[in-house]
Amino acid sequence: MSTAILLLKNIGKIFETEELETHALKSINLTVNKGDYVSISGPSGCGKSTLLSIMGLLDVSSSGEYFIEGVNVTDLSLDQAAEVRNAKIGFIFQSFNLIDELSVFDNVALPLRYHADKPNNATIKKRVIECLEKVGLSHRISHKPNQLSGGQQQRVAIARALVANPAVLLVDEPTGNLDSKSADQVMDVLDQLNKAGTTICMVTHDPRYADMARTKVQLLDGAILQAPVAKMVG
Amino acid sequence: MNLFTYQLKQAFLSLKKKPGFVFSVVSTMGITLGALLCVLTLAYLLLIEPLPYPEQDRLFVAEHQIVGEEKEDQGKSFSYPGLVDLYKSKAAFEQAAMMTYGQGVIISHNSQPLVNTAYVTSELHQVLASPMALGRMFESSEAINTNNPVAMLSYHTWQHNFNGSADILEQKINLSGVSYRIVGVLAKHFVEPALSEIGRETQVWLPWDYNQEGEWRRQNFGEVSDNLMFIGLLKIGVNSLQAQQLLTPLVNERWQEGVADDDFFKGWSVDIRVRPVKDVMLGQSESIAVILLAGVIFLVLIACANISNLFMSRTVEKQRQMAINAAIGATQKHLFKAMLAETSLLMFMSIILALVIAKSGFYLMQQYLETILPRVNELTLNPITFGCAALITLIFALFFAKLSTRMINYHALNSTLQSSGKGSGLQVSKKTRQVLIASQVALATVLVFANFGLLKGAVKSINAPIGFVTENISTLTLNFSSTDFPSHAESVQIMAEIMEKLSALPQVESIAQGSSPLSGFYVRALINIDNNERSTPYSKGVDHRYFSLIEQQVLQGDNFTNVGRRDGANVIIVNQTFAKQLKANGDVLGMQLSTGSPDPLKIIGIVKDITIASDSYTGFDNTFLSSGVPRVYLPNGLGGRSFMLKLKSGQSVSRQQLGKLLAEVDTRYSVFSFNSANDLLTKSLFTEITTAVTTAALAFITFFLAGIGLYGILSYSTQMRRLELGTRMAVGAKRLDLILLIIKDNVKPIIAGVLFSLVILLSVYFFFSVELSTYITLQLAPLFVATLLLISTLSLLACYLPLRRFINSPAISNLQGSE
C-alpha cells in the first residue's frame, strides 16, 4: 500500500493587490506517495511554481489544507515551516541558488548546519561527501560555485537537496538554465535517485522530461486539468 | 507631458510607497542643510556683508590702551578726562563721538520699566547716518555742555513701551529724576554698533551731558573705565596707523600729567589704537563663523555619506525596474534622468525643511546667542540664503543621481532580467561595504564620544560647587529718581529705615546691605606695602552680614563690624587665592595694602574662595588664573542702595510690594532691579548651559546620522544578500539563524570601526595632549565604554531592522525578489 508523503486538499492561492485579485491556484487536490516521481507541467502562468512553493512551505496557501507525512502543515509559523523544510524537503531551483561565497562543501552542508539534531562536523563531512559522490562531484569539494559549469552547479544543488535525507525532493525547472547535454545529465541523476527510492516532485515545461515521471499532473489556469495520470512501470 | 515631467510624476508615486526612505533622506538632509543654511547666512553676514553704515570704511574706534612698565598691555580703558580731551582735539578724525552706556528706570511710565541707555554726543548718529522712523537725531543743540534734556527711543521701545504711539514726539519721559523730551525714534532697521557688549540694545539714547559718571571720575585720569568709548570717521587720506601715530603722543602726554601723582601708574604709558568698527563689533566672531562653517560642512559631508548609503540601497531596490527600462530602450542618460527626478524631489523636500530649520535657527540664535554672536539680529532668510538653497538642491540632486547611476553596470542590467531579478547589475563589492560600515562606526563613535565629553564637562561646570548659597536669596537695587540728592547722613538714615522695613516683612529671614556675589566685583589696584608689589584683584563692598547670609566661610581672622563700616575703618578681607598670591603660606593677617591714598588697608580676615562660572580673570601678568580668582572685600558704606534679602523657604516678595514699601519711606526711591540669586547664577552659567544643550543636541544629531548611515549601508548590504537569505530559508534556516548570520558577518567591520575610533582618539590625545588635558582624562573611560555600548547597540539594531522584512515574509518572496 502506498504511503502519502504529501497530501494537498482543496489548496487555493489568491494574489491580492489594491486593484485586483488573481486566483493563482484553485482547489488543488494532489497526493504524492513515497517513491513517486511526479511531474507538474502546464503553460506559463498556470501556477506550477506557485504550487511547488506551497508544497515546499516557501509560501502559504490562501485556502485548503496541506499534510506532509500525515502532519497538517497548513498553518505553521515561519520558524516551524523552516524546521519542516529542513527535515522533510529538499529543493532544487532552476537557477541553482548556490551561495557564491561558500565552497561546494559548505553549500551542500548548509541544510545540516540548520538541522535540529545539530550533527557534528565529522557527520556533516561524511554526509556531504556521500551526497557529492551520488552526483559525481566529490572531486570538486573545495571549489566555489562560479568555478563550476551550469550542469555541475545544478548537481551541487541536488547534493544539497539530498544532504538532510528529505522525504521529498521538490524540483523547479531543473534544466531551465542548462544546455541540453548538462540537462540530460541532471535528469539522469534525478532518475537514478528516484530509482533508489527518493520521492521527487518536479515542475517542468519540457514534455520530454515530464514524460520521465511516473505521475504527470497538468495544470491550466490554476487548476489540475485532469486526474493525475500514473505511467505504468514495465 | 515631457519625459522629465513624466519621470517626476513616476518618482513621486514611487516615493509615496517608501515613506521610511523619504523620511530618512528628508530629515537627515533637511536638518543638516538647515544648519548649513543657517551658518552660511551667518558667515556671509560676519565675513562679507558690510556694516549698514554708509561710511563704514572710514568708521573707526579709538582705544585707550594702557601699557605697563615692561611694555605689557594692562587693559583697554579710557579715563573720562582723557576721553574728553581726545574728543576735543579733533585730530585725525573728520567727525567723532563719545559714548557711554547705562541703565535707568522710566519712572514717568506706568510700569516703570528698567531700560538700557546710551549717553552720546550729537555726532554719533550723524556718523552712523542712523535712519529715523520719527523725528530727528541729536543735533548741535544737544552738543557737549549744552545740557539740553532730549531723548531718542529705539523702535522696539517705542512699539513695546509706548504702543507705537503716533504722537510720541515732544512727550516727556523721566529717567532718574531728569525729564527728557523725546525728539526722535530710530528706524526699525537701524543697527546699533555693539562696541561694548554683543547683543545689548540701547532703548533710550540720551545726550552725553547726562551720563552717570560721578564728579570724581570726570576729573581723575587714574580712574579708568571700559564703559567709555570713542568712535568717529577718519579724515579722508588718513589710515589707522597714521591716526595712531598722531594721537598717541597727544593722549599719552596728557595722561602722564594726569597720573603723575599716582605711584601705581609709575612707568606706565598710553597707546591709542585705532581699529575699524567692524573689527571691534565682530571681535573673534569671524573665526567663530569659520569654525562653525567648517563644522557644519563636516556634518553635511557625514550626512551626505550616510544618505549615499541609503541611495545605494534604493538603487538595489530599483534595479529590476531600471533593467526593464534599459531592455525597452532607455539609455544611461534616461536612467540618470529618472534617478535625477527622484533625487530632485527628495532634495526639494529636504531644502524646504532646511529653510524652515534655518528660520528656526535664526530665531534660536536671536533668542539665545545674541549676547555671544554679533549681528545675529540681522539674520533673516535673504537672497543669499535662497540662492545657496537653490544651489545646494541642484548640486545634491545631481550628486546623488550621479552616484546612484554610477553604481549601475548598464551592460549587466540585462542579466538581471534573465535571472528573474536575482543577478547583480550593481557594483559595490563586499569589501567596500565593510569599509563603509567600519568608517561609519568609527566616525559615529568618535563624534558621539567627543560630544559626550564636552557635555560632561559642561554639566560638571554647571554642577560645580560655587562656595556660597543662592537659594532663597534675592538682590534688590534701588533707583533714585530726583535731582534733589540727599546728604550722606540723610542717605544713611533712609537706607537704615528701608532695611528696617524690609527686615520686618514676614517673608524675609535676614538681610544684608550690598549686592549679590554674582555681581558687583570690579578690578582694584593695590600695592603690598611690604614689598611694593602691585596686584589687581577683584574687589567688592560688603557689610558685616554678607558672609553669613550667603554662607561664605570666614577661614581666619575677623569679619567687618557695623561700627567699623560707620567709621570708615581701613580694613580689608581677602580670599584664599589672593592671600596665597600675597604670601605663599597664605599667612597675611595684619598685612597692609595701599590703594594710593594715605591710609593703607589692613587685612583682618581670610575667606574661602568662591567660583563664578562667568569669571575670566586675567591676572596682573596677563596669565589666566585657572586655580582661583583673587578677590578682596571692603566694608561698604551705610548709604549703599543694594540689598540682599534672604527669604523664608517657599516665600516670595513682589516688585510691586517692594515699590510700595520704598514709597512709604521716601518717594524718590523706586525699584531699579529685583533679581533672584538663582536666576543670576543661571545667567552666569549661560555659556556652560549653552554648551551642554548644544553638545547634547549635537550628540543626538550625530547619533541619529550614524543610525541613518549604518542603517543605509547595512540595509543595502542585506538587500544584496536577499537571494542568499531566501536560499538559506529554503534549506531550513530559522529567523534566529539568519539574524545571527547577519550579525556575525557584520561584527567584524563593526569591531574594526570601534578599534579605528580608538586609534583616532588615542592619536588625537597623543598629538594634542597638552591642549586636551582639560577635556580628556581617565575619568572619561566609563563614558567611552558607554559610547561603545550605544554605538554597538545601534549597529546591532541597524543589522536587524533591514533584515526584519526579509525574515518575516515567506521565503519565496526573497527567492523571487518580490515585495
Q: Is residue B353 part of a domain?
A: no
Contact A95 B419 (CB under 8 A): yes
In a domain, B274, yes or no: no
Distance CA B718, CA B740 (A): 13
Q: For residue B815, give the nearest of A83, A97, A111 by CB distance.
A: A97
Nearest CA in chain B to A164: B731
* Averaged pLDDT for residues B501-505: 93
Whether pLDDT at A84 is above 90: yes
Q: Is A211 left (phi over 0), alpha (psi -120 to 50) or beta?
A: alpha
Q: At what angle do helices B781-807 and B686-720 cross, to 10 degrees?
A: 40
pLDDT at B1: 57
Residue B57 lies in a domain: no
Rounded to a whole number of angstroms, the distance from the CA of A1 to the nearest CA of chain B is 30
Closest CA to B97 of B146, B60, B132: B60
DSSP B2-69: -HHHHHHHHHHHHHHT-HHHHHHHHHHHHHHHHHHHHHHHHHIIIIISPPS-TTGGGEEEEEEEEE-T
Provide the chain A residues 44-73 that lie in CB contact (below 8 A) with chain B. 53, 56-60
Mean local confidence (pLDDT), A28-45: 92
- Mean pLDDT over B524-531 rounds to 85
Q: A218: which strand partners?
A: A41
The confidence score (pLDDT) of residue B655 equals: 84
Residue B63 domain flag: no
Q: What is the mean pLDDT of residues B776-780?
A: 73
> Do B525 and B671 fall within a single domain?
yes
Nearest to B442 by CA among B677, B639, B709, B671: B709
pLDDT of residue A122: 94
Confidence at residue B420, expressed as pLDDT on a 0 to 100 scale: 44
- Return the number of other C-beta atoms located less than 10 Å from residue B111's C-beta: 9
Task: Kindly state whether residues B119 and B188 are assigned to the same domain.
Answer: yes
C-beta atoms of A79 and B726 within 8 A: no
The domain total for chain B is 3
Interface touch A79/B734, C-beta < 8 Å:
yes
pLDDT, tens digit, 9 for 90 and up, residues A161-220: 999 989 999 999 898 888 888 888 889 989 999 998 899 999 988 888 888 898 999 999
B632 & B732 share domain: no
- Which of B47-61, B305-319, B553-567 is predicted with the least confidence, judged by mean pLDDT? B305-319
Residue type, A225: L
B616 pLDDT tier (thresholds 50, 70, 90): low
Query: What pLDDT does A194 receive?
Result: 92
Query: Are B691 and B544 within one domain?
Result: no
Q: Do residue B552 and residue B662 come from a single domain?
A: yes
CA distance A89 to chain B (A): 8
Contact state of A115 with B731 under an 8 Å Cβ cutoff: no
Residues of B in contact with A86 (CB under 8 A): 731-733
In a shared domain, residues B670 and B523: yes
Q: What does the pLDDT average to over B519-527?
A: 82
Residues B586 and B661 grouped into a single domain? yes
Q: Grid coordinates representing A228?
A: 493525475
Nearest-by-CA chain A residue for B421: A95
The model's pLDDT over A122-164, given as tens digits with 9 standing for 90+, comes to 999 999 999 999 899 989 999 999 899 989 999 999 999 999 9
Does residue B419 carry a pLDDT above 80? Answer: no
> Does a structural domain hold residue A15?
no
Residue A93, domain CATH: 3.40.50.300
> Taking 60 as the threshold, does the pLDDT of residue B101 lie above it?
yes
Question: From CA B125, how far away is CA B236, in angstroms rounded?
Answer: 19
pLDDT of residue B219: 87
In a domain, A114, yes or no: yes
Task: Note whether residue B607 is domain-resident.
Answer: yes
Give B621's pLDDT tier (boundaries 50, 70, 90): very low
| Cα(A184)–Cα(B359) distance, integer angstroms | 72
Catalogue the E-assigned strands of B457-525: 473-480, 508-513, 522-523
Residue A179 DSSP symbol: -
Q: What is the DSSP string of B397-435?
A: HHHHHHHHHHHB-GGGHHHHHHTTT-S--B---HHHHHH
- Is the residue at B24 inside a domain? no
Q: List the single residue in B723, B736, B810 with the smallest CB-CB distance to A97.
A: B723
Question: What is the DSSP annotation of B162-185?
Answer: STT-TT-TT-EEEETTEEEEEEEE
- Domain range for B236 is 69-267
Is residue B417 very low, low, confident or very high in pLDDT (cuts 50, 70, 90)?
Answer: low
Inter-chain CB proximity B731 and A85 less than 8 Å:
yes
Tell me: do B452 and B560 sit in the same domain: no
- Is 70 exceeded by the pLDDT of residue B88? yes
Q: What is the mean pLDDT of residues B211-239?
A: 88
The answer on B732 and B676 residing in a single domain is no
Do both B432 and B581 map to the same domain? no
Least Cα distance to A31 among A66, A73, A77, A60 occurs for: A66
Contact B737 A114 (CB under 8 A): yes
Name the residue among A60, A86, A101 with its Cβ closest to that of B731.
A86
Residue of B nearest to A87 (CA): B732
Instruction: Count how many domains chain A has.
Output: 1
What is the structure's pLDDT at A233?
Answer: 47
pLDDT at B155 over 90: yes
Q: Is some CB atom of chain B closer than 8 A to the CB atom of A160?
A: yes
Cβ of residue B429 closer than 8 Å to a chain A Cβ? no
* Contact call for B735 and A79, based on CB within 8 A: yes
Are A47 and A30 a contacting pair, CB within 8 Å? no
Q: Provide mean pLDDT across the span B217-227.
A: 85
β-bridge mates for residue B178, sequence order: B175
Q: Are A148 and A116 in contact (CB under 8 A)?
A: no
Residue type for position B118: A
Distance from CA of B688 to the nearest CA of A (A): 53
- Residue B701 contacts residue B299 (beta carbons within 8 Å): yes
pTM (two decimals): 0.68
Q: With a cut of 70, say whether residue B774 has pLDDT above it.
A: no
Residue A216 in contact with partner chain B when CB distance is under 8 A: no
Tell whether the model's pLDDT for residue B531 goes beyond 90. no
CA dihedral angle for residue B576, residue B579, residue B580, residue B585, rounded to 10 degrees: -100
ipTM of the complex: 0.88
Cell of B224: 579708568
Alpha carbon distance B175, B159 (integer Å): 19
* Distances, alpha carbon B454 to alpha carbons A6, B37, B461, in Å: 66, 25, 11
Residue B346 lies in a domain: no
- The residue from B247, B267, B287 where one domain ends is B267
C-alpha cell at B342: 527622484
Q: What's the CA gap between B463 and B689, in Å, rounded? A: 11
Q: What is the pLDDT of residue B190?
A: 92
pLDDT at A44 over 60: yes
Domain, as residue range, for A147: 34-61+77-230
H helix or E strand, kind and range, residue B645? strand B642-647
Q: Is the pLDDT higher at B320 or at B229?
A: B229
The answer, yes or no, to whether residue B182 has pLDDT greater than 90, is: yes
Among B635, B663, B682, give the residue marking a domain's end: B682
Q: Is B347 at the interface with chain A, CB within 8 A? A: no
Distance in Å, alpha carbon of A234 to nearest chain B alpha carbon: 35
Quote the mean pLDDT of chain B.
85
**pLDDT of amino acid B620:** 39
Predicted pLDDT of residue B157: 94
Is the pLDDT confidence value at B95 over 90?
A: yes
Which of B635, B667, B682 terminates a domain? The answer is B682
Residues B660 and B638 in one domain: yes
How much is the pLDDT for B549?
Answer: 93
* Residue B105 confidence (pLDDT): 85
Segment B653-670 mean pLDDT: 88
Query: What is residue B563's predicted lDDT score, i.e. its pLDDT?
Result: 86
In a domain, A21, yes or no: no
Asked if B705 and B791 sit in the same domain, the reply is: yes
pLDDT in tens, B781-804: 888 888 888 888 888 888 888 888
